[in-house]
Amino acid sequence: MSMSKLPMDVITDILYRLPVKTLVRFKSLSKPCRFLIDDPDFVGAHLSRSSQTRSNLNIILKGLHLYTVEFDALDNAVPLEYPLSYAAGTEAFGSCNGLLAFRITEKNLALYNPSTRQFRKLPVSEIDTPPGESCKSRYVFYGFGQDLKTNDYKVVRMVQFSKIDDEDDEGYFFDYEVKVYSLKNDSWRKITKLPHYLRFMFQFFYHLLHRRGYGVVAAGVLHWVMPPRIEFGLRNRIVGFHLGTEEFVEVPQPECADRDYLLDVGVLEGCLCAICNFDQVTVDVWVMKEYGVKESWTRLLSIKKTRAINTLTFLRPLAYSEYRDKVLLEINNQKFVWYDLQKKKMRSVKIGGSLGTFGAEVYVGSLVPVEDQQRMENEKPNGQDEPMKRNRKKRDDFLSQGFNLVL
């Protein structure tokens, strides 16, 4: 049957259902086909459908090297191919709509779409030490996400400073340097309005052991945890940075318990999660069902250590199962388990070829480009937009005629 005889909405619906790698191959069939698949409206609609149907999901395993696992199969980990993959030490510090944010060095960062294999190094922004102070950069927090209002992708870099001649100093009295990169503008901007508590945020063992310096994005806000500072009377705090207003915001916390606990944050299908760890014996996972509303925090699950898991140093929820009756958990940077929400039981998941220790994060395969299309059009010299208009007309003619392919 010729696809040219099918209604255009049927053809489009078929394309929306295809995985990204298949669509990338289809782009080589013809120029009109490429124009259609590259069209921002098609890219957005395909991504929206993947999110709604929970399709095209993958898990990235972050260790000395990077690996990926298909979520639907959860069988074998394969090395992630990307530029500079031969060099150990590149870390993925965030994902959003199919884009991964890479840290090559403190100042050399990049964006990568593993589905389309588009790679973009960000312009270098120097780290500026506080004027008149003998200090150096010590620890760097990162975050990556999307400004939901402008559809701009942004990278946040927060640098903590310490005195040059005092290795034990934790930089309590130095302001952080916070800079934001905008993909639309292809430039960095320094944030000058910083909350006073930010200088107390870094804690050596807390942030280094489990990559907790990498922000978690939910509802267009990046989140980190400031662990308790008993000496200053400071309790656990969720530190939020709004990617739209580019301001730090207060995030309400769940009422985990009256006793002490170690707080962590995660995300589960777009909802912010709070993970409350009680002495590595019990871990509660809470979900904020309506962002910013304290009363919407709901306890999703509570896990105690077992014979197979004799300590709970680290736990993070990754994704729901198809029928949302189970949650995939990463435990102690060493294993995956399915937790049954009704039966309250765990079942281990064996991943072939995976690392001994790793961090894990879910990302969706997408066609989202690592270049901002609007900015690229605006940067073209006068007269160069005519070919683009002709290409759009070819695409529209192509859509009206249908595909000359045979099923």
For every residue of 200-219, DSSP letters joined together read: G---HHHHHHTTTTB-EEET
Predicted pLDDT of residue 86: 57
| 222 to 56, 123, 248: CA distances (angstroms) | 24, 21, 9
Burial class (CB in 10 A: 0-12, 13-18, 19+), 211: middle
The pLDDT assigned to 364 comes to: 96
Q: How many CB atoms lie within 10 A of CB 1?
A: 8
Total Cβ atoms within 10 A of residue 78: 13
Residue 407: the pLDDT is: 42
**Whole-number Å distance between alpha carbons of 170 and 161:** 8
pLDDT of residue 258: 58
pLDDT of res. 3: 53
Q: What is the pLDDT of residues 75-131, one digit of tens each?
A: 999 999 888 755 567 889 999 999 999 998 888 899 999 999 999 999 999 998 887
Helix-strand-coil split of the chain, %, nearest 5:
20, 40, 40
The two structure tokens encoding residue 264? 């962590």
Low-confidence ranges of the chain (pLDDT < 70): 1-6, 85-88, 132-133, 165-173, 257-259, 354, 373-407
Beta strands in 164-206 (DSSP E): 177-182, 187-191
> Whole-structure pTM over 0.75, yes or no?
yes
Contact (CB, 8 A) for 59 and 360: yes
SS3 234: strand
Give pLDDT, residue 81.
Answer: 87
C-alpha dihedral (251, 256, 260, 264), degrees to nearest 10: -50
